[in-house]
Structure 1
């Protein structure tokens, strides 16, 4: 079973219901943790529907924000949704069409694990950041902390043991603090630190949780789309049986992401709180 054929990211509205609404909560905490000065030039690599770019625009008073993504559908959605100084172009994160050393901060949300060579992609991002500038990302803790996906894959494997090969917790070992730290150091970045970010994921009812899995966005949703109707119903029923419910029928879970930041070597001037050397939190 090919893994990459399920990694489809193209429809902005479907992505928003499946993952964007939760990514936005993480983005708020992530940007607060970075704690940058105003009037900076920000680059959002793998910007998707513009969630992170929108938060940067709203919170950081940037000079400019550029979002790049290889999905034309996502870029179209981002252009509609993201406010302020942000603008968006279709581009490959592995080969950015940007000059060396021209950005103050480069960030990314939920993208790194889908790139073919994480260290090379981080080094490519660092190339376009000025000396002393910031390079940072956040990714879901698929193995343990991403509640609704963890329960989904456990239910899928219960019904179909071959689904284990597609489980994002198995596929993406880079989504752990020690691996993220290693990628940042291998890419030549310094003052590297990590932190967990946990957000609530409260679904109005089981349908609110399940229906986004039918939209074909991302590995889990792509797997569901590949199933025959009977197999899909089996996975749905196994997932429904495994979820905790509140008296009103809502499903309250949590999602943890891991964030990492570092700076490009060189003079960075007077530091703010967000770029002091800190011990890695793991």
Structure 2
């Protein structure tokens, strides 16, 4: 039995009730801890449903925010939830479709432990930030600090000892400050620091705690979905007995995450200035960012491009959401390969179509 078969992340609405409501609180604290300057270009790796991207857009006054996630379902939810100025694309965190040294900040929220090679993933994030740029992330402290999940796995192991192999606290050793610091250092980052982030997780009643475990999104709910009804009831009863209740029936717990940050090393003579505005159109490599970020609206990997100035002009027009008759832009890489046609309509904003004939 492969443990990873339970790591299902696809439905944004289901994730929201299970984890999104708490991850949003953690994202707010994380952004406060980073305390970054305005007008920076942010890449959100493993953006999920767009929680961190939305917080960065609202709080950090960024020049640009782009979220990347492998889950098409999550990216669809993110595109529907984040502000119009934020863009989300489907791509792999282990092979980011962006050019070297083109972003000021690369962040990742609650994703690192699900990646096959965390150090390689962080090195990939370091590749895309400028000299002196920031690479930062946060992960839940599954072993000790994630209150409702810790109680869930203790209840599951009590009724089914084989569940110990699936316990996120045991599986994700990287979710500890000393391990995170080592990953950042091994990825070549400097000025590494860690900090705890603790947020309240208050459930209205036991049903509010238990029902999200029935939806199959994430390791614990995936495990519950694999059980027979009788075994599921045993886990439910054990969990119910383990959680404290207030007089009104609510359950007040806490969730701790560990945050980590580091910077790409500054070499002698290198500049630490933010990426120039005219480079904005080229940062995504073969991806293009027609301004509407709703489902189906973003350019595809392998799409084309103009020069940097031309791309920036297109980005400016698109991001503004300019209404009007349908317009087409051909974005072609200067060295060929293939192009993408971007059409703008009154109702859908910008959508993209792959043109493989060029």
Q: What's the TM-score once normalised by structure 1's chain length?
A: 0.95
Residue 268 of structure 1 deviates from its aligned partner by 6.3
| Structure 2 CA distance for aligned equivalents of residues 220 and 107 of structure 1 | 25
Partner of 2:16: 16
Which 4+ runs in 1 deviate beyond 3 A? 267-270
State the secondary structure of the residue aligned to 2:94.
Answer: coil
CA distance in 1, matches of 2:244, 2:166: 24
CA positional deviation for 1:269: 4.3
- CA deviations 1:199-227 (Å, max 9, x no partner) are 00000000000000001111000000000
CA contact (8 A) 2:130 2:272 kept: no
Deviations 1:145-198 (A, max 9, x none): 000000000000000000000000000000000000000000000000000000
Hey, what does 1:141 align to over in structure 2? 141
1:180 aligns with 2:180: yes
Q: Matches of residues 119-268 of structure 1 in structure 2 within 5 Å?
A: 119-266=119-266, 267=270
Structure-2 separation of matches of 1:268 and 1:77: 37
SS at match of 1:130: strand
Q: Any gaps of 5 or more consecutive residues in structure 1?
A: 271-282
The reply on whether 1:57 has 2:51 as its aligned counterpart is no
- Residue 106 of structure 2: SS of its match in structure 1? strand
Name the larger-Rg structure.
2
Task: Give 1:29's aligned residue.
Answer: 29
Count of residue pairs brought into register by the alignment: 271
- Distance in structure 2 (CA, Å) of the matches to 1:268 and 1:6: 45
How far the C-alpha of 1:240 sits from its partner, in A, is 0.3
Contact kept, 8 Å, 1:137 with 1:259, in 2: the verdict is yes
Note the aligned Cα RMSD (angstroms).
1.1
Work out the CA distance in 1 between the residues paired with 2:132 and 2:83. 28
In structure 2, what is the equivalent of residue 101 of structure 1? 101
Greater relative contact order (CA < 8 Å, ≥ 6 in sequence): 1
Residue 280 of structure 1 corresponds to none
Q: Distance in 2 between matches of 1:85 and 1:264?
A: 27
Please say if residues 63 and 85 of structure 1, whose CA atoms lie closer than 8 Å, have aligned partners that are also in contact.
no
What CA distance in whole angstroms lies between the structure 2 residues aligned with 1:102 and 1:268?
13
Rounded Cα–Cα distance in structure 1 between residues aligned with 2:116 and 2:85: 30
Q: Distance in 1 between matches of 2:78 and 2:140?
A: 21
- 1:8/1:216 contact within 8 Å kept: yes
Q: CA deviation at 1:2?
A: 1.5
Task: Give the Cα–Cα distance (whole angstroms) in 2 for the partners of residues 27 and 154 of structure 1.
Answer: 27
Q: Which protein has the bigger helix share? A: 1
Range moving further from structure 2, 77-86 or 216-225:
77-86
Structure 2 unaligned regions, length at least 5: 274-358
